[in-house]
Each structure stands twice: as C-alpha cells, then as structure tokens.
Homo-oligomer: A and B are copies of this chain.
Amino acid sequence: MNNRLGNIFTVTSFGESHGKAIGAVIDGMPAGVPINIDEVQIWVNQRKTGQQIYTSARTEADEVQIISGVKNGISLGTPIAIIIENKDAKSADYNALENVYRPNHADYTTEVKYGIRDHNGGGRSSIRITAAMVAAGAIAYTALQQLIPSISVLSYVQAIGKVGMDTEQLITYSKNEIFTASNRCPVPLINRQMDELIKETQLQKNTLGGKIYTQINNLPAGIGEPIFNKLQAVLAHAMLSINTVKAFEYGSGKQASEQTGQQHNDAFELKNNIVSTTTNNSGGIQGGISNGMPIYFTTAFKPISSIGLEQHTLNQKGDNIAISIAGRHDVCAVPRAIPIVNAYTAIVLLDMVLQNRISRI
C-alpha cells in the first residue's frame, strides 16, 4: 500500500528508472469516462526533458500504453493499467556509482532499508517513475472535468533559485501563458531572468531549486474529509511525495503565523448570491473542507542533487572518496515538475470529490 496514492480512487506506482518499464494501476476508476490517450500523452510530454534551454540529455519517447480498463475510449470501471517502456536506459553510465553513496540521493538510505538496491539511474528513487503517475493524473483530471466542467488546476513556476515572482503576481494565468514559457513562469521578464540564471549555473556545473504555485479554481464547497484526510493534509502528503519537495504551504501559509486573527480572518459575504469571503487567507479551505473560493498552495523544491562539481562522500566500504557526477542531468527540474504537481493534485481532488458522494445518506 506504500506505493499507492489515494483512498478510494487509488493509483499504485511500479517500476525502476532503468528496468523494462515504469507504470501505474488505477483502481477505483468510475465507469463512463471518455479517455483521450493523446491528451494523456500531452501531460506526460510536459514532464519530458529537452524543453528548457539546458536539460538532461536522456531522450525517452515516453509513449503511454493503456493496457486495460478502457474500451472504445471509455473507462469500464475496471482497473486501468498504464505502461511506459524504458528505452533509453544507459545503465553503463551508472556503473561507476554502483558502490558509491551520492550526496543527497537515496543511495545510502535505500541500501540500509532493503539491504539491496538498483543503482541504475537511482532505481525506484528516480523522478522518472513519476511519468506513469502523470498519465494517471491526466486521466483523473478528465474524470474531474466530467464531474465539474468549470474546474481548473493550474500550476506555474513561481521561482527558480532566488529569481521569483512577487506575491501580487500570484494570480490566475492561462495554460498557454504557462506552457509557452521555457521555465513555465508566466511572467515573461522573470522567465527570461530564470533562463539567464540557469545558463550561468550550468556553466558552474551547479544546480538550482525553486517553487511552484498551484491554484484550483471552481472546486465546489464541501470537498475534504476531516479529521485526517483534510484537503490540505492530503495535498501536503501528495506534494511531499514528490522527490525533491521540502516545504508545502497553503493559503497565507507560513506568513499566517505572523498575522493577528484580525488580519488573517476572511469575512464572509454574498457575491452573486454565493457565499464568498472578502479576502482568501484561508486558501479556499476551512476545517479541512473546501469553501468554494480558489484553493492555492506553494511547493518548494530543493536543487538537484547530481552536480558536476567535485563532492566528497563515502563508498560502501566506508572509504572517503571524491566524485563529480557526469551522466545526463538537468540544471533545474522545477519546470518539469509542473505536470507532476498537477497530476498529484488531480488524483487527490478526484479521490476527495468521489468520497464526498458518501458523506450524506
């Protein structure tokens, strides 16, 4: 169950970075949802390398195959299995690392836990395995839109390293504004500054982290399952499951701790006869349940651990050694994490929306 996301709409992940394939199985898919494989492929492609100016050289076709659960483009209500073959798996690149504990990777902890590890491409701890989860998320999103046609989940890169958007710039942007930007930052000037920063950091053989801002519009009030599957708690769980995420905050977030009650409280009012709030420090969630206002949260990513610069570390025998990690690695993975954040959010939302069907007799 540890490789499963969701409670009643569940997605179980499988696969290693350099094994035969990676994949996911959806159990709990409602019947009757039109599944557009092209749309699913678009989501998966958004996660691929080669879209930024300086990216990892691994070029995977990442072709999504749906093995079961769909007939004539409609979900059957049975499990949907998704397979993505690993075709460009150059294990030879990793031979030198077989006995080395790369700093800030999962090499050492995996070995301690399981007594065995697949060192090729990081095995199971590689970000690559999220590709199949992204496909599952695309399917979840389709189902969500069937249920709530006006819903949208939009994420964009708020910051890369120290280059980032101001708080007042954190508004709703169009999908187009986001995905035409090389770094998925919808403010062109800042996106260009990010390009510069990445270029410079690449020359230094160094890497960068960043932040992603996510906004959910038009989720109806009433979604979320207190007291241990509050909407913010399951979102945080999902986000902290992404490999390099170090922090999650929703609504006014960390800053809320410095506000007084008077500053923070969102007054209720009727807007077009709908219960709304004048401000939205709550981030659209009260008591773990959506209140109908936009939901927003920020996820912070650490820099990529594989740097070209020399680092000191240990090997299995306990010898001090120096390594410089060659291989195929990005400078900054944050833009590629956009579809992952969207996918995990869609999975969580669909799970919560379906669960809400049983909250009343």
Contacts and interface: CB of A to CB of B under 8 A. Distances in A.
B246 A241 contact: no
B227 A320 contact: no
* Count of identical protomers in the assembly: 4
Q: Which of A20, A109, A267, A281 has the most CB of B within 10 A?
A: A109
B114 A359 contact: yes
A25 B32 contact: no
B106 A14 contact: no
Nearest to A124: B78
Complex A-B, nearest 8 residue pairs according to Cβ-Cβ distance, in ascending order = A106-B287, A207-B261, A247-B249, A109-B289, A31-B114, A14-B79, A237-B237, A2-B225
Contacts of A123: 76, 78
Interface string A213-250: 00000000111111111101111111111010111111
A269 B314 contact: yes
Contacts of A320: 269-270
- The contact size tier of chain A is 35 or more
A264 B104 contact: yes
A187 to B, nearest CB: 17
Contacts of A12: 12, 25, 27, 79
Given A23-B81, A109-B224, A246-B251, A15 B67 contact: yes
B68 A16 contact: yes
Contacts of A354: 358
A201 interface: yes
Contacts of A238: 233
Given A3-B227, A74-B116, A114-B31, A254 B261 contact: no
A31 to B, nearest CB: 4
A312 B266 CA distance: 9
A180 interface: no
